[in-house]
Structure formats: C-alpha cells, structure tokens
Structure 1
C-alpha cells in the first residue's frame, strides 16, 4: 500500500480479476472512512477504494486543497493545490489499476463536496481513464479544467450529479449550472435534487446505486 500515491482502504470484489473499480473521494475536513460507509450496500462485484486526501487539517480531517477565508469571511479556493490533487488522483488511478485485480476500462469516481469537485476535474482532464462519475453535492470548478476542453473525447464518459436543494455550504444555484455545462461538451449525464442540506438523502443513495448498477 505504501507505494501508491495516496493512503486508502479497500473492499475487495466478488470477482477475482477484471473487477469494475469504484474510487471514493471524501469532502473537506473528512477522511477515507466517510464514504466507505456506503461500501457494504453497493454491488459486490465492485472493487472499492476509499482514498484519504493529501492535506491533513487540525485538529482532524483532511482536505484536497485549502479553502481560505478573508476578514469579511469571503472564501476562495487554492486552485494550485486543487490542480495538484487532480493530477495526483490521476496518478493514483493508474497505480491502483496496476496494483489491484481491476478493469482499467471500467473506473467510476464517487465524490462528495470537495471530492466531487475533484472528480469532475479528473474526469474532464483525463477522460480516457474514467467511465463514470457520481458527483454528490459539488460543482464544476472551471479554473481547474484544461484549456483544451473542446478537443477532449468525452464519448465514453457518463456523469450522475445530485445536490441538496437547501444546501447551506455549496449553493444549489452552482449545481444547477452543471447540466448545461455538460451538455455543451456532449457529456452524458443525469442531474437530481433532493430536499436536504449538504448531505446525501437515502433516496439519493438508492438513485445513484441504481444508476451505477446499470453501468458497471
């Protein structure tokens, strides 16, 4: 495990080889155990990896990139760190596919909040590595996407996006821009909203589980 770029935990697949791979990316201030709680309820043929973000926070938790606040409590993202994490994840995906008995052509990313923002960025920067994305309570940060987006081939990419309609952390208005952006780049997608805050409602879980089961 130490030779891979990011610390992680795994749930083996019921398949001995060529398993569909699901990689989980937690939100700001959390860790690899957060989304891993979904693992026991997901299809047994999935090989599941839940990853810890590279930047430790005090007193606990981890981040994919810093979120800074000024005196007026405006916040902004460290997009340099975010882009570094995006590329680190891409390296990790290659390493995981070399290390575990998985199908490198059947890779799904599952992200929540900051992990969701990174999942979008990885999939749109390296679409040849990713088949599906489940993006929960996030948005598309165009500042960490490649400039040559129009020349990328997204024909094999499929995205499920969802958001809480009363999200107090990431405004739902940001998420509502996602379908138009994906349509502009001819990326297959589904978008749902649920009457919750910054979290995953049970109905949301059942919907994305069904969506994923139909695609692996």
Structure 2
C-alpha cells in the first residue's frame, strides 16, 4: 500500500538551468539529490554536463536535519512494505510534478546520487516508458516489486551505475540486490571505482558525461 502523506515537490525550490522560454522543445534531465542534502548539491555538476538538456534539480519532500530526504532512513527492523510504500510515495510526487509542467519536455532522463539514485531506478520501475535513461551514483534498487518491472525488463533502457569500493554508506546487501536486478531490467553500464567512498570522483564524472553524450 502506498503512503500518500508525502508532501508534493516544491515547484518554487526547483533549480533550473534555463528560463521558461528556453526550455520549450528540449530534453529534460532530472537531478535527484541524496539523503539529508538539497537541490543545490548535484546542481553544481551542471557546468560539466552536456548543454542540450534542460537541467532541473528537485528538492526532496521530507525535511531531515538541515536538508531533505526522499524517504526515511531505512531501519533494518522496519516493515519492508512500509519502506516500499514510502519510496513509491516519493516517486508519485515526482511523477505528479512532471505531469504539471506547462510545457512537456521532448524527453526525460534521470540522474540521482545515493537515495536519489534509488529514486531514479524507482521512477523507471513506476513509469518504464516515460524515461529515456537513468544515471544512478552510489545508489541501489528498492526492495519489493513494482508495476512496471515486467515492461522494464522488455524495454531495458540504458542505466549507468557507478559506485566506489570504499563506500561505507550503502550496505553490501543493497549492492548485491542491485547487481542482481539491473542486468535483467536495463542495458547496463557499470563502473566500479577503486578506493572511492560515498561521493562522485572526477573519474566517475568523466564517465557520466561520456554516458550522457551518447543520449543527447
């Protein structure tokens, strides 16, 4: 069951790389930050990314500490169904925000870090025909099944998955689940960075830019 109590995406907090008139007819790249962060974090990558897409960095709806989260920090003792419902509620908030855009973009790609990476994959699972690709950095796929999983396995959209060997944040079980799930539900580009922690390195950024350029 989905938790519908999550707040909507704050349209006034979205950071855009282009003004309204300059967005018309262009592809959109949605940027989704990690747990406890904010919309300005990954938006700092914008100058390094391809110029073709309009970039929109969203603020997650749940306040936590001095930042924001897409869903609560997972408790190992929590009911898995409740965790899945929270992830789906956040995905619904993003899809609702997309539906409300005055000018539908030519296409929509996804880029997320950590919890934002989990959201990128969940959006693919919820709306497998809506997104052209996903970039998930130091993230994971959520547990449970999603309505679009079967269609996603047929479509197999491009997904870039980058992670470090020294990441202390993402549990091994999440990495293993993601490693088992992605090959059957995407056309996967996987990159593992020796000694990298829970961050984005220059080497990874270069690989992400190369991946994005193949889709714009």
Query: TM-score, normalised to structure 1's length?
Result: 0.83
SS of the aligned residue for 2:27 comes to strand
Equivalent residue number for residue 38 of structure 1: 45
Q: Aligned equivalents of 2:92 and 2:40: distance in 1?
A: 22
More helix by share: 2
User: Aligned pair 1:119/2:113, yes or no?
Assistant: no
Equivalent residue number for residue 194 of structure 1: 193
Equivalent residue number for residue 4 of structure 2: none
Deviation at 1:165, TM superposition (A): 0.8
More strand by share: 1
Alignment of 1:49-64 (within 5 A): 49-58=56-65, 60-64=66-70
Equivalent residue number for residue 157 of structure 1: 157
Contact kept, 8 Å, 1:163 with 1:175, in 2: the verdict is no
Q: Aligned equivalents of 1:41 and 1:204: distance in 2?
A: 12
Query: TM-score, normalised to structure 2's length?
Result: 0.83
Contact kept, 8 Å, 2:61 with 2:68, in 1: the verdict is yes
SS of the aligned residue for 2:100 comes to helix
Equivalent residue number for residue 181 of structure 1: 181
1:139-161 C-alpha deviation (Å, 9 max, x unpaired): 11132x41562245652621111
User: Aligned pair 1:80/2:85, yes or no?
Assistant: yes
Deviation at 1:99, TM superposition (A): 3.7
For CA contacts below 8 A with separation 6 or more, give which structure has more relative contact order. Answer: 2
Gapped runs of 5+ residues in structure 2?
Answer: 1-7
User: Aligned pair 1:92/2:132, yes or no?
Assistant: no
Gapped runs of 5+ residues in structure 1?
Answer: none
The number of residues matched between the two structures is 202
